Structure 1
């Protein structure tokens, strides 16, 4: 897999998405559900009410018994991509990419992968003032719509409040929700949103996006930090605070992962300096498990 910096350097989101995802397209994930698909699987005895078009008349003539031809069929679902576009996603890693840059690449690749598996793909961008929503579609124009929306996203402000999100969470639709967020919140607004979405949609995957420089605390000497959402600043000696910072960070990450899984979310940490392949594999694994 190409590095995220290389993909971003293409400056062409559709091409970057295709480049990142096409290595995962070998082998469609078929469910074991039987139906009137294209690939023959087995015969079973005819039952009253079965579609007579699926009856094998030649076998009936030879055996004087009636059998239905069954096939394995592709299953599709709604893959609902959810992007946190609050200002903390503007955090920049040492490779020059922001969390938002990485999230764009990741969501575009997931959209490409899901679309090529025949799934309807939806996108919701969570802005401070509310939401930008593209309903789930599987037609040929949906990918360009999603790419265009992702290319024009700008992160700003704080995570939207419950009032702005109420119409979004009122929709009841079976879907696989994939949320890309750094999970920085003032209280528990992201957790509450995902809990409500799991109640109405059934499946939630959380891709917790973190930069390497915040994971490894690569800063040196006296550094001024600014909260991207509140504007608050803090000056400290990075070398003196590194051990305490990393201890608190690991504790927060453990608690975050445990809390997410306690709520029934499929939680995965993604690093903005690493290729997208882990997240794409987890999507395929999750998709296969619910097909």
Structure 2
């Protein structure tokens, strides 16, 4: 997203929409491979969340409800008294999770300090989450791109949908989301916190349980520039030339961290989780943190330090 405080990044040449679409289509398959690798690493040793749903382990018996499939009835348990019982299994994921990653121009940025671009990291996190949640029976959807599906290949289907989706900017249209669901929003969220919350707060009031992952390049935090430097906002094309870039570092960092702190605090008041992730860190760190919030088991350590 464009920043109202001015996203200060190294100059990136403007790209035509077609070139950007082609670049994303080329990027997605590699991100899918990386997402599966990370998901396989993170999921090792994890167990069910001990709630009702589609897991493999027995959870409890409950009375049969009219209209349910007869195949769910446990006839041995039902034979013990005058009631008919259904055998429920352990819940690993029982409702829909909507996943969204920002694909606006600012996400294409990658400094020499980073492992990957913000766009690449956002896609890897989204697809890795889809892979993990799909394995546990979760319904996965992407606002405006893919309707929710419950399938083991949901991550691959999401990747294919992203490759052919139109280029958009800003937060997604969520009018299609009904009922109580989780939504994971992944982006750089460089707009003022108040503007971001104007879009997010109504989702919370509709009953959505939300999780925001802010992706940042390390250069956007540390501002390592010195001497005469030209900066370009990739969203608007506006330029800023500083004769001595190091002279504005302190003011820039003050505004940058104030925006993030305000956003995190507003999200917590809404009851949403907030995870900050830098692209010079391992993607698995953010993946574990977000999955913990989705599971109702957040990490005991705060996520989003400035180291």
Q: Same fold (TM over 0.5)?
A: yes
Residues 1:25 and 2:56 are matched in the alignment: no
Q: 1:267 aligns with which of 270, 274, 278?
A: 274
Q: What CA distance in whole angstroms lies between the structure 2 residues aligned with 1:183 and 1:286?
A: 19
Contact 2:32/2:127 (<8 A) preserved: yes
Deviations 1:165-199 (A, max 9, x none): 3xx32542321100011112378453222222223
Deviations 1:100-159 (A, max 9, x none): 1211111111111111121111113xxxxxxx4201101245332211233466867x52
1:250 aligned partner: 257
Unaligned runs of at least 5 residues, structure 2: 1-25, 298-307
Does 183-192 or 35-44 show the bigger shift? Answer: 35-44
1:128 aligned partner: none
Structure 1 residue 216, shift from structure 2 partner: 1.1
**Larger Rg over CA atoms:** 1
Does 194-203 or 175-184 show the bigger shift? Answer: 194-203
1:196 aligned partner: 202
Q: 2:161 aligns with which of 149, 162, 165?
A: 149
Taking a change above 3 Å as real, the CA distance of residues 215 and 154 of structure 1, as seen in their structure-2 partners, is farther
Taking a change above 3 Å as real, the CA distance of residues 139 and 69 of structure 1, as seen in their structure-2 partners, is closer
Q: What CA distance in whole angstroms lies between the structure 2 residues aligned with 1:218 and 1:278?
A: 24
Unaligned runs of at least 5 residues, structure 1: 1-7, 125-131
Taking a change above 3 Å as real, the CA distance of residues 238 and 110 of structure 1, as seen in their structure-2 partners, is same
Residues 1:117 and 2:128 are matched in the alignment: no
Question: Would you say how many aligned residue pairs link Structure 1 and Structure 2?
Answer: 265
Q: What CA distance in whole angstroms lies between the structure 2 residues aligned with 1:42 and 1:189?
A: 46
Deviations 1:202-245 (A, max 9, x none): 20000011110111112222111111112111111222222222
1:159 aligned partner: 170
Q: What CA distance in whole angstroms lies between the structure 1 residues aligned with 2:234 and 2:65?
A: 65
Residues 1:108 and 2:114 are matched in the alignment: no
* Equivalence map 1:85-104=2 (5 Å): 85-94=103-112, 95=114, 97-104=116-123
Does 83-92 or 230-239 show the bigger shift? Answer: 83-92
Taking a change above 3 Å as real, the CA distance of residues 281 and 48 of structure 1, as seen in their structure-2 partners, is closer
Residues 1:139 and 2:160 are matched in the alignment: no
1:5 aligned partner: none
Structure 1 residue 269, shift from structure 2 partner: 0.7
Structure 1 residue 21, shift from structure 2 partner: 0.7
Paired residue secondary structure (1:73) = strand
